[in-house]
Structure 1
């Protein structure tokens, strides 16, 4: 499973960057999450871990908040495109850092991509100091003007390895949490571009190889038009000792 996730993201760099150029979505999510984490921090972020850093969109945002931001990703291909000074290839389930090494850990659009987020959250808690902050973002989906999930109308489910509810439950089990929902206006084309990223096309066709799943996702979404509302759940937890 983990090897599949790694290869998915190695193959996703061009489409990931094309989607971000068009929508600025990942940068926006990182900026909003960073603000929620800062609001709940008991002090400045001297050290931050960008868990699932990708090509560095979220890393650059988090670097504005901390003196040192470490970019961690399972994908070597993603990390090659990341300009961060501190880059580490590693797994959420076994973070290669000492206990209490960070003031904050951010999973910007990444924690929902692992099948068991509770393991990753326990690791985030371990490497986070007492009173530190851990934040995560997960997609809730896309709905049309009538509030109906667009994939329900298309007869297909767009599902991550872990849903937003599982991400929230994993953080709630380890931290005192606050949570909320962000909504964005998006076009049908944006939904298509999101699912043209091989790692995200796996939400629709997880058993297909990357090129085939993207082709099928594009074919499916060709029937979608107009504008939709895109929804994301955010969850921020404070480790014991926080205010």
Structure 2
């Protein structure tokens, strides 16, 4: 599974960058997440681990707010794009750091990409200092004005390896958590751009090649028009 995730993100750099350039969604999620983490721990700005840093969009946000930020990602090609902070190629199920190393661990749009988030959450608890804070964001979905899923009338469902409820439950197993939902207006074209990222198109067609899944995803979503709502769950927990 991890090899599949790595391969998916290795070929997603350009599309991921284009989506962020057009929407600013991942940097917005990182800013909002850091604000929630900072509201619950005054020491979060000491040293932050950006777990699942991708191309460094979230890393830049955290680096602007903290004394030191470490970017960790399983994809070497994604990490090549990180232009600041120490970069570590690794798996957040097996963090290559000593216990009590960080004041904050952030999973911005990353923890839902593993089949068992509880493993990564236990690792986050291990590397956090007492009183440290962990934060995660997971997609709930895209809905119409009537709160109806945009996939309700299509022949596919956009599924993460792990749903937002499972991500929240994993964090509840180790931390005292606070949660909420962020809602963003998004256009049909932005939804197609999101699923034009090979790693995200795998939500719809996981068994196809990167090129095939993107082609089918964009075709599937071609009938969408207008504006919709994108929903993300955020979860923040504090270590004892």
Deviation at 1:155, TM superposition (A): 2.7
Given that 2:105 and 2:124 are in contact with CA atoms closer than 8 Å, whether structure 1 keeps it comes out as yes
Deviation at 1:42, TM superposition (A): 3.6
Counterpart of 2:45? 45
Residue 60 of structure 1 pairs with residue 60 of structure 2: yes
Q: 1:44 to 1:148 in 2, by over 3 A?
A: closer
Given that 1:51 and 1:71 are in contact with CA atoms closer than 8 Å, whether structure 2 keeps it comes out as yes
Counterpart of 1:76? 76
Counterpart of 2:175? 175
Counterpart of 1:111? 111
Equivalents in 1 of 2:6, 2:45: separation in Å?
A: 29
Equivalents in 2 of 1:169, 1:159: separation in Å?
A: 17
For structure 1, which runs of at least 5 residues remain unmatched after alignment?
Answer: none
Equivalents in 1 of 2:99, 2:145: separation in Å?
A: 47
Given that 2:63 and 2:85 are in contact with CA atoms closer than 8 Å, whether structure 1 keeps it comes out as no
Q: 1:53 to 1:128 in 2, by over 3 A?
A: same
Equivalents in 1 of 2:235, 2:153: separation in Å?
A: 29
Deviation at 1:44, TM superposition (A): 4.9
Counterpart of 2:227? 227
Deviation at 1:96, TM superposition (A): 0.2
Equivalents in 2 of 1:118, 1:146: separation in Å?
A: 34
Q: Secondary structure at the match of 2:98?
A: coil
Q: Secondary structure at the match of 2:151?
A: helix
Counterpart of 1:218? 218
Which 4+ runs in 1 deviate beyond 4 A? Answer: none
Given that 1:70 and 1:84 are in contact with CA atoms closer than 8 Å, whether structure 2 keeps it comes out as no
Counterpart of 1:236? 236
Equivalents in 2 of 1:43, 1:11: separation in Å?
A: 36
Counterpart of 1:192? 192
For structure 2, which runs of at least 5 residues remain unmatched after alignment?
Answer: none
Select between 146-155 and 212-221 the one with higher mean Cα deviation. Answer: 146-155
Counterpart of 1:131? 131
Deviation at 1:43, TM superposition (A): 2.6
Q: What are the superposed Cα offsets for residues 152-171 of structure 1, whole Å, 9 maximum, x if unpaired?
A: 12231000000000000000
Counterpart of 1:32? 32
RMSD: 0.7
- Number of residue pairs matched? 240
Equivalents in 1 of 2:67, 2:171: separation in Å?
A: 25
Q: What are the superposed Cα offsets for residues 75-132 of structure 1, whole Å, 9 maximum, x if unpaired?
A: 0000001112300000011000000100000000000001110000000110000110
TM-score by length of 1: 0.97
